[in-house]
Every structure is written in structure tokens, then in C-alpha cells.
Amino acid sequence: MAFKHLRTALAVAGLALTATAASAQFAPEQPECIAPANPGGGWDFTCRQVGKSMQDIGLISKTMQVVNLAGGGGGVAYAEVVNKRGDDNDLIVAASTATATRLAQGAYPGNTMDQVRWLATIGADYGVIAVAADSEIETLPALLDMIKNDPRSISVAGGSAVGGWDHLKVLIAANAYGIEDVRSVKYIAFDGGGEAVTQLLAGSVQAFTGDLSEAKGFVDSGDIKVIAVLAPERLEGEFAAFPTAMEQGVDAIGANWRGFYAPGGMSDEAYDAWVGKIAELYGSPEWKDIMAANGLAPLDLQGADFEAFVADSVAQIQTISREIGIIK
């Protein structure tokens, strides 16, 4: 059960490509961002932070309306956009590696990546594995030993569907630690990282798998402790205190890109404008500060380059999913 494609597919930090030019002609009349999960998770963070920042620096003149549309690991939102909002020029939708994962696994019935238009990325978010602050578990090997010895004793919560990106992250770590049947790992899916952490704090589950931006607020409040970051080396600044899986002897890396797609029937003028606005935001000092504060790594892809990247991610994740038996 080899994960030979992991590094090319998932260790995306540090990539950089030039932005496409914005169209100065189009301005959204009622800008809207769909977050395909409940409040508190990574998609919700993406919509709200980008919408606020765009307005703050004058890229949009009106407040971005954020609509939470949870379900199906993003599938409910995807179907809504494809089937009902296909020509909406004011609409963008938060997406991530989780979106590519579900598309790769055919989990959005009847939907494919070419039914929408891929806009741009705003960074990459490293995966984390965390436990409640008062948990006796202090290290990733300690957690994985408990899973190895008695899989039923540990439930791991995440904000993606079964087989989705949060689930894959903990399976990657389990595989790297020598747990041969990773399907024995007990994973419980919730509609967003915020809800998953709530269940962790309630004692319903023993661990959380998510992304750094999702976990940060709960770390700051003293509710959870991060026992592993799935990064090649320790992050900088306030995140330097978090140990990596690698330094604990678990060869697991997972970076979650964050970005946006748009309705497939969006006009070229609106599409070019949104691509340009996101690119301009990404290049701003304000966004660099937000990336640093939330542990986002560099990932700068727009338009056709981003679409090609998503297509490659889908292909790579299909390979990984077959290797672990999630799809045939």
C-alpha cells in the first residue's frame, strides 16, 4: 500500500505562478461566496476572510454575502452551482484539496470538474492532527499506537466526508506508521472542521484531523493541542511550537490548497475580473499578513494554470484512493 504520489500531489507549498490580468470593466453587484460547510471550518474561513479583505482594500465595493451550504463533503454546493446557479457572475465558491478529493472519487454524482470554472488559489493550509487540551495523548506515535493496539478505542473526527481529504490525512499518517489496514482507523465525518472540534471538546471523539487555519482559533483559546503538523519542517512564527509528524518518525506530508471556483456559465469578463481580484488580493501586504497569522503557505495559481493544477490533483488523488481501497 504505497503512497508514492503523495509529495507531487500534496506537498504543494512554495509553488508560484504569475497572475492573469484583471478586467477593469466588471464589478459584482451582489458579491456572494458559498462556503460548502457549516460555520467554523476551512471553507467558511476562506469565504469570510477573502470577502472582508477584498472589501477592505477596495477590490469589491459591497459586502460579500457568505452562504453556508453544507452536505456531501461539498457536493450539495457543487450541485447547486452546476444545476441552479450556472450563469451567476456575482458568485464564487470556496474550494480546496477536499473538493478535488471528492471529484476524484466520483463522490459528486453526475458532476465533474469541467462543469465549473476554476478561478485562483489563496494559499495552502498544512494538515494537523490534534487532541483536546486535557487529553493524556501528547504525541502522534502515542495516538497511532492506541489505534494500532485497539482501533475501536480511538475515534478521529474531521470536517470532510468519509474518504475525503481530512480522512485521507489521518490514513496517510497511519500508513506511514505501519498500520497495514488503514481502513481499521475509525473516522467520523462532520459538516466542517468547527463541528468536528466541537465533538472533540464534548468528548465524543478522541482526536481531530483538519487544517491549521481551522485549528488555530481553538489552539489560541486553549481548547485543543496540536500533536502533529503534516509539513516537511516546522512552520515559522507562532506555529514553530507545533511538532511535525516527520520529526516524530512518521513520514506524512499533506498540504491543502485553498481557492475558488465559479459557475460554468460565468461570462469571460466576470471570470477574468474575479481571477484578477483574487490575484491582486493574494499579492497585497494585507493578505501576506493574514497568511502569516493563519499558517498559510505560499500557493499562487490563477486561471488556466489553476485549472491544470486541479486536473492533476484529481488524477493523483484517484491513484492514492485506489491504493488505499477507497475506490476501485
Strands 296-297 and 116-132: antiparallel
The average confidence (pLDDT) of the chain is 90
Q: What is the pLDDT of residues 45-101, one digit of tens each?
A: 999 999 999 999 999 999 999 999 999 989 999 999 999 999 999 999 999 999 999
- Which of 6-10, 145-149, 251-255 comes out lowest in average pLDDT? 6-10
Per-residue pLDDT at 255: 86
Instruction: Write the single-letter amino acid at 208.
Output: F
Neighbours of 285 (CB within 10 A): 8
Sorting pLDDT into bands at 50, 70 and 90, what band is 213? confident
Read off the pLDDT of residues 236-293 as tens digits, 9 standing for 90 and up: 888 999 999 999 999 998 889 999 999 999 999 999 999 999 999 999 999 999 999 8
Q: CA-CA distance, 306 to 315, in Å (whole number)?
A: 14
Q: How confident is the model at residue 24 (pLDDT cuts 50, 70, 90)?
A: low
* Cα three-residue angle 247-188-44, rounded to 5 degrees: 80
Dihedral of alpha carbons 254, 211, 15, 292, sign: negative
Report the pLDDT averaged over residues 302-310.
Answer: 96
Q: In terms of Cα–Cα distance, which of 253, 255, 220, 318 is closest to 15?
A: 255
Greatest mean pLDDT range, 30-34, 163-167, 322-326: 30-34
The answer to whether 13 and 126 are in contact (CB under 8 A) is yes
The owner of cell 511538532 is 243
Residue 314, pLDDT > 80, answer: yes
Q: How many CB atoms lie within 10 A of CB 65?
A: 14
DSSP per-residue letters across 255-286: EEEEEEEEETT--HHHHHHHHHHHHHHHTSHH
Q: Please give the share of the chain, as a percent, with pLDDT higher than 90.
A: 72
Query: What is the pLDDT, as a whole number, of residue 124?
Result: 92
Q: Tell me if 131 sits within 8 A of 206, measured CB to CB.
A: yes
**Helices (H), ranges, 150-226:** 165-176, 193-201, 212-220
Mean pLDDT is lowest, of 19-23, 212-216, 242-246, for: 19-23
- Architecture of 126-248 per CATH? 3-Layer(aba) Sandwich (3.40)
CATH topology agreement for domains 6-125+255-323 and 126-248: yes
Non-local CB neighbours of 138 within 8 Å, separated by 6+ positions: 227
* 130 close to 196: Cβ distance less than 8 angstroms: no
Cell numbers given for 225? 493541542
Residue that wins the pLDDT comparison between 19 and 31: 31
Asked if CATH classification 3.40.190.150 holds for the domain at 6-125+255-323, the reply, yes or no, is: yes
Closest CA to 49 of 35, 37, 36, 38: 35
What's residue 7's pLDDT? 39
The DSSP symbol for 115 reads G
Q: How far is CA 162 from CA 75, 143, 176, 189, 306, in A?
A: 13, 20, 20, 6, 26
CA distance 137 to 145: 11
SS3 category, 171? helix
Structure confidence at residue 8 as a pLDDT band (50, 70, 90)? very low
pLDDT of residue 156: 98
Question: What's the pTM?
Answer: 0.79
CA distances from 278 to 35, 65, 74, 193, 232 (A): 16, 16, 21, 24, 27
Closest listed residue to residue 200, CA positions, set 135, 268, 289, 110: 135
Domain boundaries, the chain: 6-125+255-323, 126-248
